[in-house]
Amino acid sequence: MGLLDLFRKKPSGSAQTAKERLRIIVAQERAQRNTPDYLPVLKREILEVIRRYVQVDSDAIQINVEKDEQQEVLELSISLPTDER
Amino acid sequence: MAEIIVVTSGKGGVGKTTSSASFAAGLAMRGHKTAVIDFDVGLRNLDLVLGCERRVVYDLVNVIQDEAKLHQALIRDKRLENLYILPASQTRDKDALTPEGVERVLNELKEEFDYIVCDSPAGIERGAFLALYHADQAVVVVNPEVSSVRDSDRILGILASKSKRAEENAEPVKEHLLLTRYCPEKVEKGDMLSVDDVLEILGIPLLGVIPESEAVLQSSNAGVPVILQENSQAAEAYKDAVARYLGEEREMRFLQPEKKGLFKRLLGG
Ligand SMILES: Nc1ncnc2c1ncn2[C@@H]1O[C@H](COP(=O)(O)OP(=O)(O)O)[C@@H](O)[C@H]1O
Ligand SMILES: [Mg+2]
């Protein structure tokens, strides 16, 4: 960086950060919007059961409901800690 | 057939009441008989913005509770003969608004008016829900700022799933984005979300962009909807938005930082 650049006003670009964060959160909330109301409770209860056996973080469980014309699929994925067996 | 328009946002303080007043006034200026209803029970403000606060005798809740007839509660604007205001009640009882009561009032208004503009309270509770439930079209007021954009997306979700049109599987509520308090200078510096950013995130059609403007404060001080101000960018931007709503093509204005000098003086504020 040259000396002159120090004096030049650079755009701080905080709007870019705002846009990125919004894109992610809005997408996430939209995906959640059309899921059944019982999902959060279901997730909590499954987490409790898992934790009787393995210590996992609360974000280790992903639940998704996929819909197509024929059926609805409840997709459940749990990532276990690597050192646990 | 009368059309019900909700002015909504989720977040408070973004310009719903300001926009409801100017939008309703704009429709009235264009010759349409328009009623604007304040749904903010307990926090009545539309009357102040429209300058009719001292003429309020009865309010929405009085009509719902059969303490007054609709025509006794409607206030006719002194400047625009096509504009009528139905004020909110100052009662603290939020349950005073009932779904059946609101429906009855709207049905009665539909017989007489071309447009019914519903100024929604903030939040996603009862008042906001009742304001949007019957809507045919929704003007979603958004500021170029993270929490406002996120909240407005939640409102879009509610319009799509909880409105009467959604419940009845009718044609969905038509959504319009009204971006307000826009500062082209900050956008240029990279410190404010641009129109395009917000459009990209929300993905609904743009009705208008209202610049941040001192004229808004001045006109609400005076009790005049800003759209009636002379030589004001905000007024021009609201007129454009109303024209677009009515199906006219208008180019977006005031998106670039102002050139200093003569131009600024001609269209200042
Ligand atoms: N375009 C604008 N420029 C400057 N101030 C504005 C603008 N729009 C709204 N305001 C101000 O923002 C504040 C909140 O506006 P209001 O319409 O009451 O919001 P809401 O009804 O969404 O709570 C008011 O003080 C109003 O004067
Ligand atoms: Mg308001």
| Identity of the residue in B149, B187, B190 whose CB atom sits nearest the CB atom of A22 | B149
% of chain A at pLDDT higher than 70: 82
Best residue among B17, B18, B36, B49 to mutate for probing ligand 1's pocket (most ligand atoms within 8 Å of CB) is B18
- pTM score of the predicted model: 0.88
Instruction: Please give the Cα distance from B121 to B127 (Å, whole number).
Output: 6
| Residues from chain B contacting residue A25 (CB–CB below 8 Å) | 150
The interface pTM score, or ipTM, of the predicted complex is: 0.86
Residue identified by tokens 């609201």 is B238
Of A15, A22, A34, the CB nearest to B192: A15
pLDDT at A28: 87
Number of neighbours of residue B42 by Cβ within 10 angstroms: 15
Contact predicate A17/B141, CB 8 Å: no
Written as six digits, the tokens of A8 are 């030049």
Which pLDDT band holds residue B21 (cuts at 50, 70, 90)? Answer: very high
Are B153 and A30 inside 8 Å of each other by CB? yes
User: C-alpha distances in angstroms, B93 versus B36, B128, B256?
Assistant: 22, 15, 45
Number of Cβ within a 10 Å radius of residue A10: 9
- pLDDT for position A17: 96
**Helix (H/G/I), strand (E/B), else coil: B218:** helix
Q: Which SS3 state, helix, strand or coil, does residue A23 take?
A: helix
Please report the pLDDT score of residue B122 as a whole number: 97
Residue A15 pLDDT greater than 90, yes or no: yes
Chain B: residue whose CA lies nearest to A29: B154
- Within 6 A (CB) of ligand 1 lie B 9, 12-18, 122, 180-181, 210, 212-213, 216-217, 220, 234
Task: Determine the distance from the C-alpha atom of residue B198 to the mean position of all C-alpha atoms in its chain, rounded to a whole number.
Answer: 19
pLDDT digits (tens, 9 = 90+) for B176-218: 999 999 999 999 999 999 999 999 999 999 999 999 999 999 9
Average pLDDT rounded to a whole number, residues A57-84: 83
Query: In the predicted model, is pLDDT for residue B263 greater than 60?
Result: no
How many Cβ atoms are within 10 Å of B139's Cβ, its own excluded? 26
Give me the pLDDT at residue B93, please: 80
Q: How far is the CA of B220 from the centre of ligand 1 (A)?
A: 9
pLDDT digits (tens, 9 = 90+) for A2-13: 555 555 444 568
A31 CA to centre of ligand 1 in angstroms: 31
pLDDT in tens, B207-257: 999 999 999 999 999 999 999 999 999 999 999 999 999 999 999 999 999
Phi, psi of B210 (to 5 degrees): -105, 120
CB interface of A with B, residues 16-75, below 8 Å: 16, 18-19, 21-23, 25-26, 29-30, 33-34
**A25-34, A48-57, B7-16, B58-67: which has the minimum mean pLDDT?**
A25-34
